[in-house]
Amino acid sequence: MKRKLFLGALPLFMLLSCGEDRDDDNSQQNTINQQIIGTWTIVKKESNGNTIQVSSPCPNLGNFVFGTDKKLAENHRSVVNNNCVTDTDNYTYSVDENNKKITTKNTQNDILIYVVASLSENELVLVNTEGSDTTKYTFNK
């Protein structure tokens, strides 16, 4: 009798144990520092609200390359004598996660601060304000 009761209760216990997963979501969200690593192509650049257009023969306005070594290469494309020319500015960078800012510094100790306006897996928007000039970059990865 006890054996029949046990065998009858066993499937019931198995069904109850297969309920919804009640574990809390312990997955950790990636930090800005982790998410920005890689090459981000500039798909839109605005200066004081005015869009800077891509000029032929350049395919885009350039890209920013954030390295794991805290180095940033800003590659800006422009047209010179009907040729697409890339100028590269090299910086070191740090990320202020709480204030959502990226601070860059070159060898001449020039400092640029970018506010991270938005960041997703495939899109990054950075805003830099220097005096009365505001530049907004929209990137795709």
Instruction: Give the per-residue pLDDT at 74.
Output: 96
Spatial distance between the Cα atoms of 4 and 139, rounded to a whole number of angstroms:
67
- How many independent structural domains does the chain possess? 1
Mean pLDDT, the chain, rounded, equals: 87
Tell me if 12 is assigned to some domain: no
Report residue 10's pLDDT band, with 50, 70 and 90 as the boundaries.
low
pLDDT digits (tens, 9 = 90+) for 92-108: 999 999 999 999 999 89
Tell me if 77 is assigned to some domain: yes
Report residue 124's pLDDT band, with 50, 70 and 90 as the boundaries.
very high
Mean pLDDT, rounded, for 11-18: 52
Instruction: Give the per-residue pLDDT at 70.
Output: 97
Tell me if 23 is assigned to some domain: no
Tell me if 14 is assigned to some domain: no
Tell me if 8 is assigned to some domain: no
The pLDDT of residue 15 is above 70: no
Provide the domain limits for residue 128.
Answer: 30-140
Q: 61 near 74, Cβ under 8 Å?
A: no
- The residues that bridge with 65 in the sheet, in sequence order, are 39, 73
Tell me if 16 is assigned to some domain: no
Q: pTM here?
A: 0.78
